[in-house]
Structures are given as C-alpha cells and as structure tokens.
Chains A and B, each alone.
Chain A
Amino acid sequence: MDITNYTTEDFLLDSSFREWVLRPNATLNIKWEKLIEENPGKRQQVRLAREMLLHLPQWKHQFQTEEKTLLWKQIHYNLKEEQVEIPVVPIHSKSTLEKRRIRKNDDYTWLRVAIILIIVLGLGYFLMPLPGDETDVEEPAVAFVERVTPPGVKAHITLGDGSKVILNANSKLTFPKPFDQDRREVFLEGEAYFEIAKDSMRVFSVHSGGLETIALGTSFNVEAYTDGFCNVALVSGKVIVQDKVANDKSDNKGTTLSPGEMLKYNSRGFMVKAFDEESVVGWTKKLILFEHTPLPKAVRVLENWYGVKFHFVNQPENKISFKGRFQDETLQNVMKGLSYAAGFSYQIDGDRVYITFNNSQIQR
C-alpha cells in the first residue's frame, strides 16, 4: 500500500484508515504505524483526518418505542386490508398527511373501478347469453364486506352511498356492497360513529347487539362492545331504535330519539337520557374523556385505544371510578395522570400494563 500521494481527503476515504481511527485493533495499529513511519511528511494530513473523523457528529433521531409499535400495528392492519381502499387513522398522528393519502386512494379507486369494469365487460362479452335468453338475467349477487379494526387502530370508512363511518378500535362493521335498491343495512360489533348521507328513498339501519337503529340522514354513535348491551346516541337528525326481539313479537313501533338523547339498552330493558356529546363522540376526535367511569369500562377503553392488555397485580379495596380528560396523549401520560388520582402504580412492558393498587395508603 502506498500513501505517498495521500491527501487528508484520501485518508478519510480509506475505509481501513477509518477503521483504525474508530475501531483500532492490533493488526491495523501495526499497519498504519508502519505506513506513517515510512511517510513522515504525511503526519500533518493524518492528524487532521483523524481529528475530523473523531469530531464528526452522529445525527440520531430517536424513534419512540410507542410510536414504533403503533406504526407496526398500522402496517400490520394494512397488510390484511391491502385490497380495500380505506385510510387508517392512527390514534396519535396528526391528520396532516391523511388528505394526501385519501386523494391517492381515490386515484387508485378509479383505477380499480376501471379495471373491474374492463374485466366485467370482458367477461360479459364472453358469457353474455344469446339474444332471446335475456329475460333470464339474474341480479348480481350481493357481496358482504367486512371491516375489522384491531385494538389500537381506528378506520374511516366511506360507504357506497356516501355515508361516512368512523369505526372505533376493536370493532367490526359488515355491510353489503352495493346496498340494496330499497334499503341500506349494516351490522356492527363494537363502536362506530355514523354520518348518514341523505337518501329519502332508502332508510339506513344499523344492527347491533339486539337493536336496530333506523335513520334517514343523521349523525349518531352506536356502542355495542358487550353482547346484550348497546348505547345509541343521537347527535343530529332523527333515528328510530327498535328492539329486534320485541319487534318480532308485537307491533312495536320503536323509540324515537331527538338530538342530544341517548338510548341505553340491556337485557332488562332500555332507558333514554340526555348525554354529553364530548364524552360520547370525543373518541372520533382523539379525545379520551372519563367522567366517573368505572374501572372495567376505563380499562376496556384504554385497552382498545392503545392496543394493550391490563394485568392487575392486586384488586382495589374500594370501587374505583376515573375522571380525566386526555387529548391525543400517549399511554405513558394517561397512566401517569390516572395513577396520581386513583392511587396505583403502573408499569408498561411492551403491550402489557401492570397495575398495583396502593391499598394500604387508602386505609391510612
């Protein structure tokens, strides 16, 4: 090896030189010491190159573990939904980039529609019955589309009629594509917020946990995570809620809700009461609101929201309910806020959260 013509730049460009400076070992030491000894005139250049190399900054950007985990969840979710054109909204991220993505998806939608049309027309050409058989043409079979969100992920869905649905985490929405000629029907497990496109000819109905909610053009929230329980909250417009079982037995006309009213339903019956809009539909705006929320419900909300699982090291001695308001917060911050107020300590370990209640302190 010859370094007689080496400049400072050449030393820096030599990977063996860089290794010697940054990760020296015996072999490299012998090699470079010998080279420099043979070329004493190069000492100046070597010194400068070495100094520059050692003072080169490392530009590191920390990828927060929580963010990393959430991004993977989103990728994983999109793997399964690859063929369907819905934008997925992660709970944390600002929606700045969503618009772009939605537009992009729209482009693809047209492409898809075009491809499907070509295929259908092409198939139609070959499969078209001979003239005379036309009376036999069957209606196209209705396909059901199923959208499932895992914990930690929400989805914005636009239905064929232009109605918009925000599907909360850990929920499932099933609907026919396309809708029938005379009605629009969807099936919900979990929670969703609906903004129904006006269509005076076709009612829109949501089937969930034994209830049917019928609407024309309104916005409302349906929550039916547990079997046999269902809450329907009306934000604007008008809906009729029917108990499906009772409806079959008698000529039950159902209950009509006015804006600001919520129907709470369980196996024993139902009640209608006023509700606070923010606490019911806040989830669509990245807001977690606890208003005297009992422990089991708060746990369910947080598990779904962040895609984690809670483990209780011990049980609280008294019944606990939570109060708190968290706008677009990390799990860490939410837990910090709650733990002070409710007297427990917590430990977040990946997707597991361990809770220990400070029972002795409450007694004192």
Chain B
Amino acid sequence: MNSKADQTISEEAFCTEDQLFWQIIKAGDPKGLERFYEKYAEELFSFGMNVVSEKELVKDCIQEVFLELWRYRSSLNSIRNFRLYLFKCLRNRIFHESAKIRLIKPIEDVPVHNGQLQVEAEETNLIASQIELEKQEAMADALRKLPDRQKEVIQYLFFESFTYEQTSDIMGINVQSVYTLAWKALNRLKKHYSKGVALFCLFQFF
C-alpha cells in the first residue's frame, strides 16, 4: 500500500531527529530534553486535556513525564518512537494521578461552546452553511456520547494518527481488541450521526 510506505518513511525521518535529541539527553545535557519539550508539549497538552479536563493536573503530569525521561536517561535503552512513548507515559500518569484523587471527568462534562473546544471543519472554505454546521454538531455530539474507552481509541487512531499497533501499545491491549473497540465506536458513531442528521432534515422539511 502506497500510503503506508509514505508513512513509514516520514516516521523514520522524524525519529532520526528525536534520536539526536535523545543522544543529547544521554550525554547529560538538558538541551535535548528542551528540544523534546518544544516539539511535543503542545500536542501532549491538548491530548491530556481531552483525557481529563483539568489543566493543572495535565501540566503536572507533563512535568513528571519529562522529569522521568531525564531521571531514567541512563537506564532507558532504546526508544524507537518518542512521540508514542511520551503519549503512553502521559496517558498512564494521568490515569494514575486521577485514580488517586478520583477526579477523572468524562469529556461529556465539558461544554462544547466554551471557546477552548474548537470544532474545526476540514472544508471550511466550502461550507459555513447551516446544514454543514448541523452535521458537524451531530458528529461532535455522537462522539461525546461514546463510552470512555471507545472515545480514547478514536482519539488515537483518528486525531493523533497512531497506527493500530501503536494504539495497542499505548492502551495496553492487543491489536485485535483495538480493532474491535474501534469498530464498536464507529458503529455507535454511525448510528448517532445518522439519527442526528435525519432529525435535522426532518426539521428542515417543516
């Protein structure tokens, strides 16, 4: 498959840069860690906020993830994909910390229209019509109604562009389970979405 080949090449390309940063860290220079931070902090923050909408906790966990990378720089041997590794560490730490304080909030508690949560359309130039907005809202609504695990799997596969293998690594389940979970999630999304759009079209009709 052509796209897969493309992906592997680009993955290797950005990994080389990460390996360089890692060598700098291994040599005991915080500059390497800073480069990692510069590169991934925003992505990690956004991801963390989607997992638990508690800003201070997310920042705290990001700090711990980077400190740990530094702390274990000599004992960690080789990390093939740092982006994957950082996401995995952050996910585990957030779950660990929120379990301690029982703070984890499912995403449905977050109001959509509070400015922080932007709903971006891929074809903004084309649309802006009411129907498009409704469809977008129907999709966002369907997504909000997913159970946590299904939402999580969609986040990795569709938002963060991780592969099935990488997602299975992050979530600690086998590839087949990732596939099943994702299928269930999409099935639910499809039903909610079709219902939402149908309902809207009905309103249009009257």
> Which residues of A are in contact with B by a Cβ distance under 8 Å?
8-9, 12-13, 15-16, 18-19, 22, 27-28, 31, 48, 51-52, 54-63, 67-68, 71-72, 74-76, 78-79, 82, 93-94, 96-97, 100-101
Kindly state the separation between the CA atoms of A48 and B194 in the bound complex, as whole angstroms.
9
B130 CB, nearest partner CB in chain A, Å: 14
Q: Are B193 and A52 in contact, with the CB atoms below 8 A?
A: yes
Q: Are A96 and B143 in contact, with the CB atoms below 8 A?
A: no
Q: Are A76 and B34 in contact, with the CB atoms below 8 A?
A: yes
Within 8 Å by CB of B159, from A28, A58, A82, A97, lies A58
B165 CB, nearest partner CB in chain A, Å: 12
Kindly state the separation between the CA atoms of A28 and B2 in the bound complex, as whole angstroms.
8
Chain A residue contacts of B143, Cβ below 8 A? 56-57
Chain A residue contacts of B138, Cβ below 8 A? 55
B101 CB, nearest partner CB in chain A, Å: 7
Q: Are B66 and A75 in contact, with the CB atoms below 8 A?
A: yes
Query: Which of B74-82, B114-122, B168-176 makes up part of the contact surface?
Result: B114-122
Q: A19-B3, A28-B3 are in contact. Are A72 and B116 (CB under 8 A)?
A: no
B41 at the interface (CB under 8 A from A): yes
Q: A15-B4, A52-B139, A93-B56 are in contact. Are A75 and B121 (CB under 8 A)?
A: no
Listed residue (A27, A56, A67, A78) with the most chain B CB atoms within 10 angstroms of its CB? A56
A158 CB, nearest partner CB in chain B, Å: 20
Kindly state the separation between the CA atoms of A221 and B101 in the bound complex, as whole angstroms.
35
Chain A residue contacts of B70, Cβ below 8 A? 79, 82
Interface of chain A, main secondary structure: helix
4 closest cross-chain pairs (CB), A and B: A61-B49, A63-B45, A55-B139, A57-B119
> Which residues of B are in contact with A by a Cβ distance under 8 Å?
1-4, 30, 33-34, 37, 41-42, 45-46, 49-50, 56-57, 59-60, 62-63, 66-67, 70-71, 100-101, 107, 116-123, 132, 135-136, 138-140, 143, 155, 158-159, 163, 179, 182-183, 186-187, 189-190, 193-194
Kindly state the separation between the CA atoms of A76 and B193 in the bound complex, as whole angstroms.
46
Kindly state the separation between the CA atoms of A43 and B87 in the bound complex, as whole angstroms.
37
Q: Are B120 and A61 in contact, with the CB atoms below 8 A?
A: no
Interface of chain B, main secondary structure: helix
Smallest Cβ-Cβ distance to A61: which chain B residue: B49
Listed residue (B3, B41, B56, B63) with the most chain A CB atoms within 10 angstroms of its CB? B3
Kindly state the separation between the CA atoms of A79 and B186 in the bound complex, as whole angstroms.
43
Chain B residue contacts of A93, Cβ below 8 A? 56, 59
Q: Are B120 and A9 in contact, with the CB atoms below 8 A?
A: no
Kindly state the separation between the CA atoms of A100 and B97 in the bound complex, as whole angstroms.
10
Q: Are B67 and A63 in contact, with the CB atoms below 8 A?
A: no
Q: A58-B159, A68-B42, A71-B59 are in contact. Are A82 and B67 (CB under 8 A)?
A: yes
Q: Are B120 and A60 in contact, with the CB atoms below 8 A?
A: yes
Chain A residue contacts of B194, Cβ below 8 A? 48
Smallest Cβ-Cβ distance to A67: which chain B residue: B59
Chain A residue contacts of B33, Cβ below 8 A? 75, 79
Chain B residue contacts of A62, Cβ below 8 A? 46, 116
Chain B residue contacts of A71, Cβ below 8 A? 41, 59, 62-63
Q: Are B186 and A61 in contact, with the CB atoms below 8 A?
A: no
A91 CB, nearest partner CB in chain B, Å: 13
Smallest Cβ-Cβ distance to A59: which chain B residue: B50
A20 CB, nearest partner CB in chain B, Å: 8
Kindly state the separation between the CA atoms of A51 and B135 in the bound complex, as whole angstroms.
9
Listed by A's residue number, 13 A-B pairs whose Cβ atoms lie within 8 Å are A18-B158, A19-B3, A31-B2, A55-B139, A59-B50, A59-B159, A60-B118, A71-B41, A72-B34, A72-B37, A75-B37, A75-B66, A101-B60
Kindly state the separation between the CA atoms of A71 and B34 in the bound complex, as whole angstroms.
11
Chain A residue contacts of B1, Cβ below 8 A? 16
Kindly state the separation between the CA atoms of A13 and B194 in the bound complex, as whole angstroms.
18
Chain B residue contacts of A63, Cβ below 8 A? 41-42, 45-46
